Chains A and B, each alone.
Chain A
């Protein structure tokens, strides 16, 4: 792709993701906030696609946009008792301010402590098959971290089922 086209698309996607995040934070309607979050996730998937990380982009859409945000919307819609409750008043108390400040400080320290270096794009982009081989090969691959991650997820799943069966005990 020519450099300028790439730049324009990047600009649009970057604006969409940052703008969406700002809009998500500033809107007072929780439903709108959830939809803005969804927009941010889709824009980030677009950024992945721009880096030729096709698989990552698709998984981002499938998992984050398609499942996580729907689940979030679902929970919000189920727990709102009246439609008017969707619009939340602005919490301007000292506690909220302190919490926001603390969060900002943690993020700032985290970002300042890590060093970002500009990586170069490889000439040839590895395909899904290469990714699969890398994930599942024993020597030099990521098979153990991968399996541990799936085990952690399994434990979380079983735990969720156990918690939700409370009335039987």
Chain B
């Protein structure tokens, strides 16, 4: 394979995954939420409505693309791309298995967070350029929330980095191989410190995704559709595609950091070596299903509750968790050194 192809093919694969993921997640969202609400969800197009989202994509692609009169044209056109590109770039460091990943980075975890931190910019751009007060309010809420929750999200993964001693996502997964007491898998979610970190990660991740219970940015009953109000046709499609793709990224990160990535416990590693990516995808979609379960169950919190939860609870908890982890590691080290 030529070098150029070797660079281009993984990127195309990531785009393909992102598009498919969008279609699958819309269907999943409708079905999961439907059943949680004791409804059936889409039933008529194809078997149990499986072709419904395919038809919807066709509709989105052929709809008229409306540009309102007073928008800031340059920013209005740029915003969907500014949301889409970082969300696509985030796939680069995710390890689907030991060998299946787009690029290997020593700082994979930091890279993913750096790229995800660019998402609120696109959201602000969309909110401002739409020249619509609901869009602006939605954009500001989304950006404020994402900025605030990026801090606990980053801090919550630091104990994992300390325990595994690496920022490389593959090494973090391999640090989770083996068992405690002979049968408990060494997944960080089952580690006492890692468990607290995983809870913080879940809450901060949901806020980062603007999902219920933190979906004030697109609260349908107050803000029409938030920052996406004025967008139509495929521009709207792009905004939503990257939102679904961010769900995938956060879930995949959680799986990698806390649930052992592509590995399965109790089954010899060489049995499942070839289906690593499939296991990883399954685990990721289970994670997304949990997000949707939360979405169908909890009411929305108020914006001041959201801010005080983030700044007054989660950040102090995650900071002290880092300190406790550091002290615990030194204590364990010295105890082992003495005996």
Contacts and interface: CB of A to CB of B under 8 A. Distances in A.
Q: Do A and B come from one complex?
A: yes
B167 A73 contact: no
Interface residues of A, number: 23
Contacts of A120: none
A34 B48 CA distance: 48
A135 to B, nearest CB: 14
A71 B147 contact: yes
Nearest to B129: A31
Interface in A82-102: 83
Contacts of A77: 124, 128, 136, 140
B80 to A, nearest CB: 15
Given A35-B75, A65-B117, A83-B131, A73 B124 contact: yes
Q: Which secondary structure dominates chain A's binding surface?
A: helix
A14 interface: no
A139 B67 CA distance: 62
B107 A128 contact: yes
Contacts of A74: 124, 140, 143-144, 147
Contact of A55 (B75, B110, B143): B110
Interface residues of B, number: 26
Interface string A97-128: 00000000000000000000000000000011
B207 to A, nearest CB: 15
A31 B75 contact: yes
Contacts of B140: 74, 77-78
Nearest to B151: A67
B64 to A, nearest CB: 25
Contacts of A66: 114, 117-118, 120-121, 150
Nearest to A73: B124
A37 to B, nearest CB: 11
A32 B129 CA distance: 10
B65 interface: no
Contacts of A128: 106-107, 167
Nearest to A66: B117
A81 to B, nearest CB: 13
Contacts of A127: 106
Contacts of B75: 31-32, 35
A167 B111 CA distance: 41
A54 B128 CA distance: 32
A104 B39 CA distance: 68
Contacts of B150: 66-67
A33 B131 CA distance: 18
Contacts of A78: 140
A55 B136 CA distance: 34
Nearest to B120: A70
A24 interface: no
B125 interface: yes
Nearest to B113: A62
A143 interface: no
Given A65-B117, A67-B147, A83-B131, 8 more contacts: A31-B75, A31-B128, A58-B114, A62-B113, A66-B120, A67-B117, A74-B124, A78-B140
10 contacts: A58-B107, A61-B114, A61-B117, A62-B117, A67-B117, A67-B150, A71-B147, A74-B140, A74-B147, A127-B106
